[in-house]
Amino acid sequence: MTDVVVERDETARPEPEWPEPGRQGWSWRRVVRIAAAIALPIAALVAARLSFFFLRDAEANRILVVGLALVIGVGGVWVMYWGLDRLVDLIPGDWRERVRPAVFVGPALVLLALYLVYPAIYTIILGFQDADGQEFVGWDNYSYLFTNDDSLLAIRNSILWVIVVPLMCVVIGLLFAVLVDRLGRRTESVSKSMIFLPMAISFVGASIVWRFVYNFRPEGFGEQTGLLNGIWTGLGQEPVAWLLQEPWNNVYLMVIMIWLYTGFAMVILSSAIKGVPEDMLEAARVDGANEWQIFWRITLPTIASTVVVVLTTILITVWKVFDIVFVMTGGEFGTTIVAERMITEFFTFRHSGRGAAFAVLLFVAVVPVMIVNIRRFRAQEQMR
């Protein structure tokens, strides 16, 4: 019998060797590959599940907790996707490329639903239940929000925050952006770095820094350690308890947020200003327009979309902030805000229903801002 030699095209991509009816089945190597591709993702999921209990152990070694979190978070995810990719490679024909996108996007969608969609739905349901989340109480928790004096004060203060802080951040950031744009390249970089530097500090860290600014000691209790009172008493005045002065103490807390986010607004707006066509500016100068007119009639309208994006981004952040109030005053002395009340109801008063109601209130307040951002983004995409 003559052996028949079949030539293969080495340049073509090899197809999975699926066994044909009546011929020898898969080799042991292929069986091992399939078993590994199935077992590794399952093992990664099981390891992540088991490690979750260790990570929640309050007495566990912190170094081990961090190391395990890195191994599971990075290595486990890599192993899972590697195994899923190997499984997809075993699918024959055109189905392989149809299935691959779903395999890679699917875990992300599952995590998104598990950690975002499900908590949001559960929080809405919890807002209609009692303190222990056992019985439905209807609209009682939401009625408490709009009838209790402390809750009304928190809502009023939060509204002041979302009006004052984003507006001042944008105004001051725009002013700095225009000024540094006229400096030399090296001076501009140094100036922007110094103004943007507070963004590297967390809210808690910034609050601790500003506690030294607002610190107060009554007469006869030693030297003033607060910067403001040091200056104030140096001018011959009596020390002032800045954080106890209602309602101005709310403004003093807003200053911290403005100090943090002015650099962010400046960097984004400065980039937008540099994108204004130079031909338009030169044409306006030739027509006799001064710099003030150029700014109001050309620069500002051109960067209006960027201004709105910066404004809404800071606004959303302000709605959620509670760290500054919690660290500086604990929500006392008339400084309570909605996010701080939410945390207080949940963890101090142990009333999950009211805490969830405050969370839903924040969600409802943020949604319109997100809708505005999405619409403006779509309008910009259509113009391109």
Q: Which two tokens stand for residue 220?
A: 């006869």
**Cβ–Cβ under 8 Å, residues 238 and 229:** no
Scanning the chain, the segments in alpha helix (DSSP H) are 28-55, 62-70, 77-89, 95-112, 118-126, 140-145, 149-180, 185-196, 203-214, 227-234, 248-274, 278-286, 291-294, 300-302, 304-320, 323-328, 338-343, 352-383
- Hey, what amino acid is at 229? N
**Cβ–Cβ under 8 Å, residues 129 and 135:** yes
Q: Which of 9-13, 242-246, 373-377 has the lowest mean pLDDT?
A: 9-13
Give the integer Cα–Cα distance in Å for 106 and 15.
Answer: 25
pLDDT higher at 320 or 74: 320
Give the integer Cα–Cα distance in Å for 23 and 326.
Answer: 73
* Stated pTM of the model: 0.74
Determine how many CB atoms are found less than 10 A away from the CB of residue 328.
22
User: Which of the 8 DSSP states describes residue 23?
Assistant: S
Mean pLDDT for all residues in the chain: 81
Identify the band that residue 26 occupies on the pLDDT scale cut at 50, 70 and 90: low
Q: Residue 348: which H helix or E strand, with range?
A: none
Asked, as a colleague might, if the bond just before 14 is cis with ω within 30 of 0, I would say no
pLDDT in tens, 79-91: 777 777 777 777 7
Q: Write the CB contacts of 88 (distance below 8 Å, at least 6 apart in sequence).
A: 96, 99, 100, 103
What integer pLDDT is reported at residue 215 of this predicted model?
A: 87
Sign of CA dihedral 101, 107, 108, 110: positive
Q: What is the dihedral of CA 134, 120, 260, 250, to 10 degrees?
A: -40
CB pairs under 8 A, 24+ apart, for 13-19?
15/92, 16/89, 16/90, 16/91, 16/92, 18/92
Q: Is the predicted pLDDT of residue 77 greater than 60, yes or no?
A: yes
Q: Is the predicted pLDDT of residue 52 greater than 80, yes or no?
A: no
Q: Which of 33-42, 142-151, 174-183, 281-290 has the lowest mean pLDDT?
A: 33-42
- Rounded mean pLDDT, 95-111: 77
Q: Write the CB contacts of 35 (distance below 8 Å, at least 6 apart in sequence).
A: none
Domains of the chain: 28-126 (no CATH), 140-383 (1.10.3720.10)
Percentage of residues of the chain with pLDDT beyond 90 = 14
Q: Which two tokens stand for residue 201?
A: 């500090």
Q: Is the predicted pLDDT of residue 290 greater than 90, yes or no?
A: no
Among 56-70, 207-221, 349-363, the range of highest mean pLDDT: 349-363
Residue 116's alpha-carbon distances to 24, 108, 109, 323, 364, in angstroms, are 49, 11, 10, 22, 15
What integer pLDDT is reported at residue 53 of this predicted model?
A: 67
Identify the band that residue 104 occupies on the pLDDT scale cut at 50, 70 and 90: confident
Measure the CA angle with vertex 94, ends 92 and 95; round to 5°: 70
Identify the band that residue 159 occupies on the pLDDT scale cut at 50, 70 and 90: very high
- Rounded mean pLDDT, 334-362: 89
Give the integer Cα–Cα distance in Å for 213 and 207.
Answer: 10
- Hey, what amino acid is at 183? L
Residue 75's alpha-carbon distances to 33, 89, 302, in angstroms, are 19, 21, 46
pLDDT in tens, 292-336: 888 888 888 888 888 888 998 899 889 888 889 998 988 888 899
Residue 24's alpha-carbon distances to 27, 35, 36, 53, 202, in angstroms, are 8, 19, 22, 46, 64
What integer pLDDT is reported at residue 301 of this predicted model?
A: 86
Give the integer Cα–Cα distance in Å for 83 and 63.
Answer: 29
Strand partners, 129: 136
> Environment class of residue 42 by beta-carbon count within 10 Å: exposed (0-12), middle (13-18) or buried (19+)?
exposed
Q: What are phi and psi of 136, to 5 degrees?
A: -80, 135
User: Which of the 8 DSSP states describes residue 16?
Assistant: P
pLDDT in tens, 227-285: 888 888 888 888 888 888 888 989 999 999 999 999 999 999 988 888 888 888 888 88
Q: Is the predicted pLDDT of residue 22 greater than 50, yes or no?
A: no
What integer pLDDT is reported at residue 18 of this predicted model?
A: 46
